[in-house]
Every structure is written in C-alpha cells, then in structure tokens.
Amino acid sequence: MDFDTAAGQTRVTARVTTGTSSSFPQLLVSANPDKVFGIGLSRTGTKKLHAVLTEAGYRSRHYVPELFDPPDWSVVDGADALTDFPVPHLYKELDHRYPGAKFVLTTRDLDSWLDSVRWMFKHGPALWRWGPEAYEYLRRLYGTTRYRRALLTDRWYAYHADVADHFAGRQEDLLILDISGGFDTDALCDFLGVPGVAESGEKRVNARRMVPLSDRSRYKLGYVRQSLRAKLREAFRH
C-alpha cells in the first residue's frame, strides 16, 4: 500500500477492494448520505476537527453516546458530521449506511499519542465521568480499560492499517490528517469542497490540562474518589 504525503495531509492510494455491502447485508442504506465522519482515535485532534466543521457550517457533534450499543441511527440522520466516541468503532457500518460520505482520519505521532492517552486513562474517568459504556468502548477498541503501552501500540497500528485497507483506492472518500505539526484546515476544506475557514489561532482545542472553571471542583472531587477506590481495591488484594 502506498501513501502520498503533501502539505500536512496523507491520502490513501491503493488497490481497490470490494465487498462492503456484503459485509452488512442486513443494514438499510440512508437516503441522505452527505455526511462527514471523524474516525480518528481519541486524543488525535477530534475536538478540533469538530470545531472546524462547525465553523464551516456543518451541524457537527463531538462524542455521541447514543450511537453505542445499540446505535440510534436517527442521531446520524439529524447531524451533518460526527466525531470521536464511538465513531471509530462504527466506521465500516457508517460507510455502508451512508455511501458517498466523507471520512477524516486524524492521527499524530505514535509516541505523543501514547503520552496523551496515558493522561486520558488517568484523568478521564473523573473529568468526563466515564460510565459502563465508556469502559466497554475502550475494551472493544483498545482491548483494555487501563494504560498498557505495548497493547495500545499494537492497537494503534492495527486500527490505522484496517482503515487504510478498508478505504484502499478510495482517496476521494478518506482524508488522513496528521496533526503532529498542527491542524491543516485548508487540506480539510479542500477535501470536503467547502470554503476555507479562518484559524482561531488555538492549536489545541482539547489540550490536556484545559479544564473549564465550572468543572474543576467536580473534577478534583471525582479524581479523589477514583484514587480512593483504586487504593481500596489494592488493599483488598493483599
């Protein structure tokens, strides 16, 4: 498989593969396929993607729990674009249901992603109040609900290879944006065929330690509770 990289973007060029429809013979195909799906893993600029899509005029949603087990497909019909949880887990199904949709895979340097994911696993449960569905999603996508570097590395490579294979030869449907050097809004708008949007100058919308003031007290309390539960579980093991 070959990759053509230019101006901060990577587009897949490879042998055409078929069989998508036969993989989901029981699914209905939407009559309104003009959608954009952000299928990058968490901590790869998915919230920035959501912000740019919103500024470009899309009705975008970031984090869509209604799509997880079982999916409420009416949520997709009511939006123009979706990013993050649980979209990466559903991208093949979405591709079948919405032929002609555009897919954007945001990605970043593996080591920096692992560092950011380590922070997410440590602080996410308290900051975002992870419930059972969040842990089940992590288990399905990453094979773990805690930070395990070797396993997450394997899953990162496997996921990107799977996406590249699925969209092989369909460079008009998939854009891969490497955000390691910044978010290339021009490449995104060119791919979607929409007018460019002005950069806000905010390179990292979801920077790891940017917590809204209203959430800080809740976050601190939740983190204390999480730490206490972890210590109690450890104590009972001995």
Give the CATH number of the domain where residue 189 resides: 3.40.50.300
Domain that holds residue 27: 2-109+153-206
Distance of alpha carbon 177 from alpha carbon 9, whole angstroms:
5
On whether residue 57 sits in a domain, the answer given is yes
On whether residue 10 sits in a domain, the answer given is yes
On whether residue 64 sits in a domain, the answer given is yes
**pLDDT recorded at residue 238:** 54
Which amino acid, residue 30?
A: S
What digits encode the pLDDT tens for the residues 20-56?
Answer: 333 443 444 443 447 999 999 999 999 999 999 999 9
**pLDDT recorded at residue 29:** 45
Distance of alpha carbon 151 from alpha carbon 179, whole angstroms:
23
pLDDT at 202 over 50: no
**pLDDT recorded at residue 34:** 79
On whether residue 229 sits in a domain, the answer given is no
**pLDDT recorded at residue 234:** 54
Could you tell me which of 141, 133, 112 has the C-alpha nearest to residue 39? 141
Count of domains forming the chain: 1
Contacts (Cβ under 8 Å, ≥6 apart) of 53: 36, 38, 60, 80, 81, 83
On whether residue 82 sits in a domain, the answer given is yes
Which amino acid, residue 160?
A: H
Distance of alpha carbon 231 from alpha carbon 238, whole angstroms:
11
Q: Rounded to 5 degrees, what angle do the CA atoms 230, 233, 238 make?
A: 130
Q: How far is CA 230 from the centre of its chain?
A: 28
Q: pLDDT band for position 67 (50/70/90)? A: very high
Cite the DSSP H helix spans in 26-174. Answer: 46-55, 74-77, 87-97, 110-127, 132-142, 149-166
pLDDT at 101 over 60: yes
CB 177 within 8 A of CB 104: yes
Higher-pLDDT residue of 77, 224: 77
What digits encode the pLDDT tens for the residues 146-182?
Answer: 999 999 999 999 999 999 999 999 999 999 999 999 9
What digits encode the pLDDT tens for the residues 111-136?
Answer: 999 999 999 999 999 998 899 999 99
On whether residue 56 sits in a domain, the answer given is yes
On whether residue 170 sits in a domain, the answer given is yes
Q: What percent of the chain has pLDDT over 90?
A: 65
Report DSSP state, residue 195: -
On whether residue 11 sits in a domain, the answer given is yes
Report pTM.
0.75
